[in-house]
Amino acid sequence: MSTFQAPKGTYDLTPPSSATFLAVREAISAPLRDSGYGYIETPGFENVELFARGVGESTDIVTKEMYTLTTKGGDQLALRPEGTASVLRAALEANLHKAGNLPVKLWYSGSYYRYERPQAGRYRHFSQVGAEAIGTEDPVLDAELIILADQAYRSLGLRQFRILLNSLGDKECRPVYREALQTFLRDLDLDEETRRRIEINPLRVLDDKRADVQKQLTDAPKLRDYLCDACKAYHEEVRALITAAGVVFEDDEKLVRGLDYYTRTTFEFVHDGLGSQSAVGGGGRYDGLSEMIGGPELPSVGWALGVDRTVLALEAEGVELDLPATTSVYAVPLGEEARRVLFGVVTELRRAGIAADFAFGGRGLKGAMKSANRSGARYTLVAGERDLAEGVVQLKDMESGEQTAVPLTEAAAELAKRLG
């Protein structure tokens, strides 16, 4: 192993490609920020019970994927594997749900950790942007979140994604279905672990990725046939609202997702260019989660979109984001005196809000101009001894190649004018 290798299943974001990650986080959160969602940030770790209870003791996330640790003080902590339980915990702790307006609408962006088998699109450290709307049961809210995720992906230029939609029922109808499903599953030819899962969380067997298991599930009872009237009506309303918004979706009755806390509306965004790690995001309603972690009844809905996989989806579709150059002006000094003078101009530009950079290290003209080109700067300022003697700097337009001598004292103002 090389000394400089990041841990297995992780990778670094470095320039220039890191700019794409920032732009994706920005694009995903923009529709949320414009829709009344406030920013929330929670710690990278939590007490382990929060996830054990919140995400579900029997989920892969809790049984296999969670990074847990014991602190020197004896506390059992877990690196956060997902955002929802933490955000709800934080909202309850801060009493946001008592402050007046419900729903409490929050968005977040951060790193998440799961001990998974690393492969393309599946990492041990990954990044999500998420949204939660806490404390209100209203199909318009479910629709809002689906529409905003669709808007975020579209604003990035993604087109080859699909929205899968399902309803998981509520505490009235889901138990009836659960029992019918268990009866069906107990007769199948399944391994020990899956048989155990039938007893703890049978719906998750439907999510099994293995082909031989899926084959046996063809005739499994369908949740749709068991939904109570209230859940059916709720689901129809969500479908009608997103249809009216022109958002295309597919009904997927097998969609259950990996977390225990979902009720009613459940959805996943999949991208067809990603191979087996096709889910770029997912979410749904989690009406029982607050009570599960010891809080009051707070019906809620949310989603989390994977930043890493969204970047892979952009690559798969060949979408190049239109990222503005980070540097507008690049200064190239020739000689000691020019260094001091041009650095002064660069500082002046920066204070005026103009992105400017400088050829450090006293390099020659050729190397410095290469750096100027690479920086993407629109203008270069060059000055040598003769220019300074005349009280000017050479201002070069990097697009047209045109070069003009500008009085030193007016250089910053001239650039501000040209850059608008």
Stretch near ligand ATP under the rule CB under 6 A, chosen from 23-31, 123-131, 180-188, 377-385: 123-131
Give yes or no for residue 122 binding ligand ATP (CB under 6 A). Answer: yes
Stretch near ligand ATP under the rule CB under 6 A, chosen from 34-42, 276-284, 350-358, 406-414: 276-284
Give yes or no for residue 302 binding ligand ATP (CB under 6 A). Answer: no
Q: Is 174 exposed, middle or buried (0-12, 13-18, 19+ CB in 10 A)?
A: buried
Q: Is 364 exposed, middle or buried (0-12, 13-18, 19+ CB in 10 A)?
A: exposed
Nearer to ligand ATP, 82 or 170 (CB): 82
Nearer to ligand ATP, 82 or 387 (CB): 82
Nearer to ligand ATP, 103 or 110 (CB): 110
Using CB under 6 A, pick the residue from 25, 53, 80, 114 that binds ligand ATP: 114
Q: In what order do the strands lie in the sheet with 76-79?
A: 45-47, 76-79, 68-70
Using CB under 6 A, pick the residue from 126, 262, 330, 358 that binds ligand ATP: 126
Q: What are the tokens at 269?
A: 């965004």
CA dihedral 25, 26, 32, 34 (to 10 degrees): 180
Stretch near ligand ATP under the rule CB under 6 A, chosen from 97-105, 220-228, 237-245, 303-311: 303-311
Q: Which residue is nearest to ligand ATP (CB)?
A: 306
C-alpha distances in Å from residue 363, one per residue of 129, 336, 346, 370: 42, 11, 17, 11
Give yes or no for residue 281 binding ligand ATP (CB under 6 A). Answer: yes
Closest of 233, 34, 73, 242 to residue 144, by C-alpha: 242
Give yes or no for residue 31 binding ligand ATP (CB under 6 A). Answer: no
Q: Which residues pair with 357 in a beta bridge?
A: 330
Q: Are 281 and 306 in contact (CB under 8 A)?
A: yes
CA atoms 400, 402, 408, 414: torsion sign: negative
Beta-carbon contacts of residue 222 (< 8 Å; ≥ 6 apart): 253
Q: Are 125 and 65 in contact (CB under 8 A)?
A: no
Q: Are 260 and 56 in contact (CB under 8 A)?
A: yes
Convert residues 219-258 into a mask of x (bound to ligand ATP by CB under 6 A) and - (unbound): --------------------------------------xx
Nearer to ligand ATP, 153 or 226 (CB): 153
Nearer to ligand ATP, 116 or 208 (CB): 116
DSSP 161-226: EEEEEEE---TTTHHHHHHHHHHHHHTS---HHHHHHHHH-GGGGGG---HHHHHHTTTPPPGGGG
Q: How far is the CB of 161 from ligand ATP (least distance, A)?
A: 11
- What is d(CA 311, CA 281) in angstroms, rounded to the nearest whole number? 12
Nearer to ligand ATP, 138 or 207 (CB): 207
Count of residues that bind ligand ATP according to CB under 6 A: 19
The strand pair at 329-333 and 379-383 is best described as parallel
Q: How far is the CB of 307 from ligand ATP (least distance, A)?
A: 8
Using CB under 6 A, pick the residue from 35, 160, 216, 277 that binds ligand ATP: 277
Q: Are 163 and 239 in contact (CB under 8 A)?
A: no
Using CB under 6 A, pick the residue from 82, 132, 142, 287 that binds ligand ATP: 82
Nearer to ligand ATP, 142 or 308 (CB): 308
Q: How far is the CB of 225 from ligand ATP (least distance, A)?
A: 25
Nearer to ligand ATP, 305 or 359 (CB): 305
Using CB under 6 A, pick the residue from 202, 282, 299, 333 that binds ligand ATP: 282
- What is d(CA 192, CA 140) in angstroms, rounded to the nearest whole number? 42
Q: Are 205 and 186 in contact (CB under 8 A)?
A: no
Nearer to ligand ATP, 207 or 414 (CB): 207
Give yes or no for residue 304 binding ligand ATP (CB under 6 A). Answer: yes
- What is d(CA 288, CA 296) in angstroms, rounded to the nearest whole number? 9
- What is d(CA 24, CA 281) in angstroms, rounded to the nearest whole number? 13
Site for ligand ATP in 152-181 (CB under 6 A): none
Give yes or no for residue 332 binding ligand ATP (CB under 6 A). Answer: no
Give yes or no for residue 287 binding ligand ATP (CB under 6 A). Answer: no
Using CB under 6 A, pick the residue from 308, 313, 377, 378 that binds ligand ATP: 308
Give yes or no for residue 280 binding ligand ATP (CB under 6 A). Answer: yes
The residues binding ligand ATP (CB under 6 A) are 82, 114, 116, 121-123, 126, 128, 257-258, 277, 279-282, 304, 306, 308-309
